[in-house]
Amino acid sequence: MHRIKKIIEMFLNDVKDDKIDLYNEFSFQHELGIYLREALHKTFKVEFERNVQHFDLEKKDFTKKEIDIVIYNDKQYLCAVELKFPRNGQYPEQMYNFCKDIKFLEELKSEKFENTLFIALVEDDKFYLNANDVTGIYAYFRAGKNLQGTINKPTGEKPSSVHLNGSYDINWKSLSAKHYCMLSC
For residue 180, pLDDT over 90 is answered with yes
Query: Measured between alpha carbons, how far is 90 from 87 in angstroms, rounded to an integer?
Result: 9
What is the rounded CA–CA span in Å between residue 124 and residue 17? 19
pLDDT at residue 74 in the model: 86
Task: Decide if pLDDT at 176 tops 90.
Answer: no
pLDDT of 132 reads 79
Contact assessment for residue 178 and residue 27, using Cβ atoms and an 8 Å cutoff? no
Q: What's the predicted TM-score (pTM) here? A: 0.95
Element (H, E) at 37: helix 25-39
Q: pLDDT tens, 14-73?
A: 999 999 999 999 999 999 999 999 999 889 999 999 999 999 888 789 999 999 999 999
What tens digit of pLDDT does each residue of 114-168 get?
999 999 999 999 999 987 778 899 999 999 899 999 999 998 888 899 999 999 9
Count CB-CB contacts under 10 A for residue 129.
14
Residue 181 has pLDDT above 80, yes or no: yes
CA distance 15 to 175: 7
Cα dihedral 8, 14, 17, 21 sign: negative
User: How does strand 115-122 pair with strand 77-84?
Assistant: parallel
> What is the rounded distance in angstroms from the CA atom of residue 175 to the CA atom of residue 27?
16
91-116: average pLDDT: 96
173, pLDDT greater than 90: yes
Split at pLDDT 50, 70, 90, the class of 88 is: confident
Task: Report the pLDDT value the prediction gives residue 7, as an integer from 0 to 100.
Answer: 97
> What was the pLDDT predicted at 117?
98
Q: What share of the chain is helix, strand, coil (3-state, %, to 5)?
A: 35, 30, 35
Residue 158 is predicted with a pLDDT of 83
The CA distance from 138 to 129, in Å, is 9
